[in-house]
Structures are given as structure tokens and as C-alpha cells.
Amino acid sequence: MTDNVFSAHGLTEEEYTRILGLIDRAPNYLELALFGVMWSEHCSYKNSKAQLRKFPTSGENIVQGPGENAGVVRLDRGATVGGDLCAAFKMESHNHPSAIEPYQGAATGVGGIIRDIFAMGARPVALLDSIRFGTLSSSRNAELLRGVVKGVGDYGNCMGIPTVGGETVFHDSYSGNPLVNAMCVGLVHEAHIFKGRASGVGNVVMLVGARTGRDGIKGASFASEELSDSDPDKRPNVQVGDPFMEKLLLEASLEVLEADLVVGIQDLGAAGLTSSGAEMAGRAGSGVCIDIDKIPLRETGMEPWEIMLSESQERMLMVVEPSKVDHIAAVFEKWDLAASAIGEVTGDGNFTIKRGAEILASIPAKFLTDDAPVNVRPYSEPEYFRKLSNADLSITRNSNDIPALLLRLIATPNIASKRFVYRQYDSTVGVRTVVRPGGDAAVMRLPGTEKGMALSVDCNARYVYLNPRRGGAIAVAEAARNVACTGARPLAITNCLNFGNPEKPEIYWQFVQATDGMAEACEAFNTPVTGGNVSFYNEYDGVAIYPTPTIGMVGVIDDVAKAVTIGFKHQGDAVLLVGETLDELGASELHYMLTGRDEGAVPRLDFAAEKALHSFLINTAPLLASAHDCSDGGVIVTIVESAAVGGLGVSLKWRWENLSPAAALFSESQSRAVISVEQKNLPAVLDALSALPYTMLGTVGGDRVSIEYNGAALVNCPLSDLTNAWRSGLEAAL
């Protein structure tokens, strides 16, 4: 066999030698194709596994950690029939397909993550997205934004799963390689959780849903390469989505799961039938034998390797007892879907593909799922790290004309309202959405209880680039803070780790540092990692994206009717800033706006201060009229957003030592939130603040935003001017 043959499957010579050693013979073409996709980065996590082991993955509320279709966290103990109420949740990337074909790439990314959730037996109830593009000065980036948003919207809207939150970020490091991360959350009672296990020798393997075609072949390998100019040729690697088919598949699957007709279930995602079959066998320690002649095909003349590697969407694999096959087929028939018995569970531990009586491939499933090499890549600190952290920020610190800066900053696409995006997402279908998009976190009510769950996705990639360890920790802290601002207790995270080529030591350094920072923060906040996804090779023409470990956080609130929102509520309420403001304009939106440069020291993060803020927000929630986290753009952006959303002005007046006006308003110090409080509740709130740093800023009221700082009038603008600039900024940039 020439090296061209194994490299065509994305395998290295070293990996090929490893395969020879494992199976003690030369693999045939089909077998090599199976190894190629199963040992791709996308399926095997070979370059990240060692590092991911550092994450905390267990805790009193963690019902299912990493390794299944999705993680599961307990929301409510014992209050409901069928066991504790749990959330199944996971986030995944679909970056490379979206770079080539934004609409289908984003749509199938959403479709894939939804299947992961209902494969756990959970009914999907919420979607969130985290999408990133190059700046909108390029029309291609605007086109990508429109296509991705339409793709996310059309899929979720048709499924009837509300898209309740997300983030939209613009930075030129994503030009050519946009990021599309989608998170789905479902509800399930603990006793009804299903797993992706092929147990019970003699049980039948059924393929249900759409027919298998040539689309998306080798998508997993494509996801594990860098992008370049020649990529329009890769369009055949992109899958095509059919949300109507998936809606039928969802209802039919939940119907057979609820009737307890299924032993194990898994969705077909990256690497299609190969990964789902091999993984289900691998987890159960059993074998799976598939007869390729029994797979319903959409087109003729498909080769066995094409059938096994196809990533046709809207398919699920089920393992069922032989006596249940007819019942399952009848349920799928009702929904006009195919359900075909294509193989059986065996006791030999092998993943076997046959055509009639002829064996085409037979490999121990564990070799495919567990024996990919675990690479600990060499890493080294990139040159930029020390250089950029020592940048001179005096221009920004000493900048004047605050009103003009403010009007410009709130209209930049990163700060401006994302209404253009979330208006295209149905956020209210399902009658569970209590806090809709546009706040710090979405809040959903939970059936059969007073409780609710809060959901947020976050990452400030500029921080991660400039200081990966601190930036990774801040991403977790901000997601937790967003959840806490609604009054909810952060419980657990999922993640999408988007990085460049891990074979480059500087990129691998970013990866190790960022995940170390995340692990430390997850420990500190007691929010274990229940799973996620690693997306490497996010590069375009050799230039990597900013390291972007997106965090998806789930929290629980005891009384959903008391969920706190960001808008100011009543004239005369007191406005306070909780937390300490330092001179931290490094890596800030303002510095970037003024200089076009990402540089300076990333704001400090003190876990104890952050946790104290969360506790305050959670315990005092019933007394707060509003709460809004301070993040990009500093406290002034937080204040303007609360005013714009509430439709109420503010009159603020305070003094701080040693901070220039620009630093006071635009510093991005962590662990802060702006709250508003009815006067009657103020004494109790101040009491709760006794051990925390805070500043009395002023009161809600009027139709202007007026700010007097250290005796000087800095801002006195009509709220309507600020609101218009903030509301129209994104669309104006399009």
C-alpha cells in the first residue's frame, strides 16, 4: 500500500503503522476508510483528549458527564413524577461547512445538535447560537451573517424549538473562517434518560429517518483540515438539511422512547453510520454487524465506503429487542418515515460490515473508538503574548469627548443590539420562554415546578487571544455571571473549543492555556463540564482565528416568576454598581475602536470576588428591579442598555479616586453588575452588600442619560439618541 492511500483517508504514516500493529494485518480500503474518519480529530479528539481530562466532570447535580450524546444536569430533585427533572444539553460547532455554504452549514449544525439531545430521550426546548464573522466592511462577511442567521432560524423555527439566546461577534480573525456554534437544551426525567449503547447480543440494529445519499461524505475529515481559497470545491462535503424531516424524526423517536421500545439510541452525525455504529458497540463492549444491502439509499451505485461515511442528515440508529421491531416500524410508518432493520448486536466485539453473506470489513470496535493515538503536542508561548500585554494605553485612558465616543461605541456591531439576528428566530414557541433574547441570559420555565432554568453562551475571544489562561477563565466567569444576573444558580457547562491548527506550537499553547483557565474557573464556580466539542484547524490561508472557547452555561432559579431582567423598571429606583472598577482598558472595546488594535493587559479575575457577586445576585434577586452584567464596553454600555431596554433615563453622579473619566466609564473590570432597586428595598439590598465593594451611582428617571463624574458633567444625552444608535448599529453596518 502506498502512502497516498492512507493519506487520502487523512491518516499519517505513524497512524497507519499503529493500525497494522493493532489488527496484525493490512486493512482493506473500506477498513482504512473507517479508521480514517474515526481517527480524525473531529471524532477521536486525539489532539485534545489529554488536555480535556483536566476538566472537572462530576458533581452532585451531574447526571451524565462527557462521553454520551449529551451531558445531563439535575434541575429539580424529586418534585416530579418519573424521577428528577433534568436538562440534557450540548453545544457543537459547524464552522467549516458554514464557511463554504453558510445557510446549509448553519442549518445542519442546528439539526445535528438537536438530534444529540433527543437521542438522550429529552424533548428539546431551547436553542442558543454563538456566531462569529469577519468585520462587516467586507460584503462576503455580511453575506455569511445573513446566510448563517437564516440557516439557524429556518431550522429551529420549523422544528418549533425556540432560539432564546446567543452571541454575535465580529472580528477580522474570523474572515474566511466564521464560527457557527449551536447549543441545544432538552428536558427529561432522570428515569427516562436513554444512552447510545448497543447492548444485548441478538438485538436488532435499526436505521430510522432519512435515506442515505452521497452528501457530506468525509465531513469529519473536512472539519479536521485548514480552509483555503480552493474550498468552493468542497461544497460536496457540506450536508443538506431538512428540518421537516427532522421534526418527524423527533416526534417518532420520542414516541418510541416514551413507549420504552428501545434499548439504545444514537444520532448519525460526523462520520455517519460508522461513528454511530462503532461508538454504540464500543460503549457497550459489544459488536455490531451491519448488512449494507439493507440500508435504504437515496441514489444508486453508492460504494460501501460512501454508504458508511455518508453524513446524510436526519437519521438515527436504534438498538431494539427483536420483538419490538414491528411496533417501532408501525410508529415510524405513522409519521411517514422509514425504519429499517440493518443489522444486529454481536458478542464478538467487532464492527462488521457485510453485503449479504460477504464480509466487507471487520474491525474490533474499540480499536476505532478508543485506540486513536493520544497526542500531547509540543507547545510554546507565542512571541506576541508578552509584547502585546505591555502596550501603552494612554491614548485611550486620556481620551475626551465622552458623549461622542459613547455614541460611536454603542453603534459598533459588537456592542449594538442584536435584534436584527434574534428577530429572525422564533423565541416564544413552546410557551416556556420567560426571559427572551436580548438580556444577559434566557430564562425558561420548567413544567410541574416553580423553578426555571437560565441559559447563556459566552466568550470574549480578544481576552483569550491576549491572555488565554485568564481569557478562558473569564469566559466561564462571564457565562456564570450572566446566569446569576437573572437570579439563577450556575450548575454546569458545555463548550465548543474553537482553535487553529494544533500542530502549530503557538496554537497548541493557546489551547492548553485556555483550557487550563477554564478548568480552574469551573472548579472555582462548581460548574463541571458535561461535554462539548473541539474544533481545531480553524484557519484560513494559514492564519488562525482568535482562540474561541465558547461556554454554554445552564443554571437553575428557584422561583421563575422572580427572574430578574436587564431593563430599568421604575422612575426613582436607585442605581448601583456592584464590584470594583480598576484602570483596565487593556483588550477593551474602546481601545480597539480608537486604535484598531487588540492589546494591553486583560482585566484581572478574582474567583472569590466573582463568586461573592454571584451569591449576592442569586440571594437578593427578589429585591432587585433589574440586574445587568458589565462586560464589553464597560459600565457605561451596561447602563445605556438597561436604560434603552427599560425605556427610562438615568441621572447618575459619583466620585472615584485615581480613574480618568474614560477609564471610569469604559474599563472592562470583571465581577461587576449594574443593579436597580426600588427605594423600599434599598436598605435590605445595602445590608446584603455589606461585604462587597459597590458604588451608589444615582437614580432611574427622566428621558436623558446624564452622568456627572468627579464633579464634571461627562454625558447628558437624550435617551432616544442613544437608543436609536444602539438599536440601529448592526443593520446600519450591513
Partner 1 sequence: MRAAVVVFPGSNCDRDALRAAELAGFDVRFVWHKESAVDGFDLIVLPGGFSFGDYLRTGAIARWSPIMSDVVRQAERGVMVLGICNGFQILTEAGLLPGVLLRNKGLLFLSEDVALRVENASTAFTSAYKRGQTIRLPIAHGDGNYYVDAEGLKRLEGEGRVVFRYADEPPNGALNGIAGIINERGNVLGMMPHPERHCEDILGSHDGKGVFESLMKDGVPK
The mark string for 327-356 relative to partner 1 (x by CB under 8 A, - otherwise) is: -------xxx--------------------
Q: How far is the CB of 158 from partner 1 (least distance, A)?
A: 4
Q: Identify the residue whose cell numbers are 449551536.
A: 182
The identity of residue 239, as a single letter, is Q
Question: Which region, judged by CB under 8 A, interacts with partner 1, from 33-41, 243-251, 593-601, 631-639?
Answer: 243-251
User: Using CB under 8 A, which of 349, 430, 693, 702 touches partner 1?
Assistant: 430
User: Using CB under 8 A, which of 73, 245, 302, 488 touches partner 1?
Assistant: 245
Binding to partner 1 in span 58-87, by CB under 8 A: none
Binding to partner 1 in span 149-208, by CB under 8 A: 150, 153-154, 157-160
169: β partners: 132
Question: Phi and psi at residue 701, in whole multiples of 5°?
Answer: 155, 160
Q: How many CB atoms lie within 10 A of CB 387?
A: 10
244 lies in the binding site for partner 1 (CB under 8 A) = yes
496: β partners: 533, 550
734 lies in the binding site for partner 1 (CB under 8 A) = no
From 706, 700, 646, select the one nearest 678 (Cα to Cα).
700
Instruction: Clarify whether 42 is annotated catalytic.
Output: yes
The span from the CA of 129 to the CA of 460, in Å, is 15
Q: Are 227 and 176 in contact (CB under 8 A)?
A: yes
Q: How far is the CB of 160 from partner 1 (least distance, A)?
A: 2
Question: Phi and psi at residue 205, in whole multiples of 5°?
Answer: -100, 120
Identify which of residues 35 and 155 has a Cβ nearer to partner 1 in the complex.
155
C-alpha cell at position 613: 457577586
The mark string for 434-473 relative to partner 1 (x by CB under 8 A, - otherwise) is: x-x--------x----------------------------
User: Using CB under 8 A, which of 4, 25, 78, 431 touches partner 1?
Assistant: 431
560 lies in the binding site for partner 1 (CB under 8 A) = yes
Name, in order, each residue with C-beta under 8 angstroms of 156's C-beta and a sequence gap of 6 or more. Answer: 110, 127, 162, 163, 243, 425, 426
Name, in order, each residue with C-beta under 8 angstroms of 660's C-beta and a sequence gap of 6 or more. Answer: 397, 398, 583
Q: How far is the CB of 420 from partner 1 (least distance, A)?
A: 9
Q: How far is CA 561 from the centre of its chain?
A: 27
The span from the CA of 83 to the CA of 81, in Å, is 6
Question: Which region, judged by CB under 8 A, interacts with partner 1, from 192-200, 280-288, 409-417, 431-439?
Answer: 431-439
Q: How far is the CB of 450 from partner 1 (least distance, A)?
A: 10
Which H or E element spans position 644?
helix 635-646
Q: How far is the CB of 337 from partner 1 (least distance, A)?
A: 10
The residue annotated as part of the active site, out of 9, 42, 591, 614, is 42
User: Using CB under 8 A, which of 88, 248, 391, 519 touches partner 1?
Assistant: 248
Q: How far is the CB of 157 from partner 1 (least distance, A)?
A: 6
Q: How far is the CB of 276 from partner 1 (least distance, A)?
A: 25
User: With b meaning 16 or more CB within 10 Å and e meaning fewer, what string describes 316-346?
Assistant: bbbbbeeebbeebbebbeebebebbbbbbbb
Identify which of residues 415 and 434 has a Cβ nearer to partner 1 in the complex.
434
The mark string for 380-419 relative to partner 1 (x by CB under 8 A, - otherwise) is: ----------------------------------------
Identify which of residues 56 and 430 has a Cβ nearer to partner 1 in the complex.
430
Q: Where are the beta strands (DSSP E) in 171-324?
A: 179-189, 204-209, 264-267, 287-291, 315-320
Name, in order, each residue with C-beta under 8 angstroms of 430's C-beta and a sequence gap of 6 or more. Answer: 125, 160, 161, 162
Identify which of residues 118 and 422 has a Cβ nearer to partner 1 in the complex.
422
The residue annotated as part of the active site, out of 94, 171, 591, 628, is 94
Q: Are 344 and 286 in contact (CB under 8 A)?
A: no
From 92, 173, 89, 176, select the one nearest 129 (Cα to Cα).
92
The mark string for 130-159 relative to partner 1 (x by CB under 8 A, - otherwise) is: --------------------x--xx--xxx
Q: How many residues does the chain have?
A: 734
Q: How far is the CB of 94 from partner 1 (least distance, A)?
A: 20
Q: How far is CA 534 from the centre of its chain?
A: 11
User: Using CB under 8 A, which of 561, 684, 732, 734 touches partner 1?
Assistant: 561
**Contact residues: partner 1, CB under 8 A:** 150, 153-154, 157-160, 242-245, 247-248, 334-336, 422-431, 433-434, 436, 445, 560-561
What residues act catalytically?
Answer: 42, 94
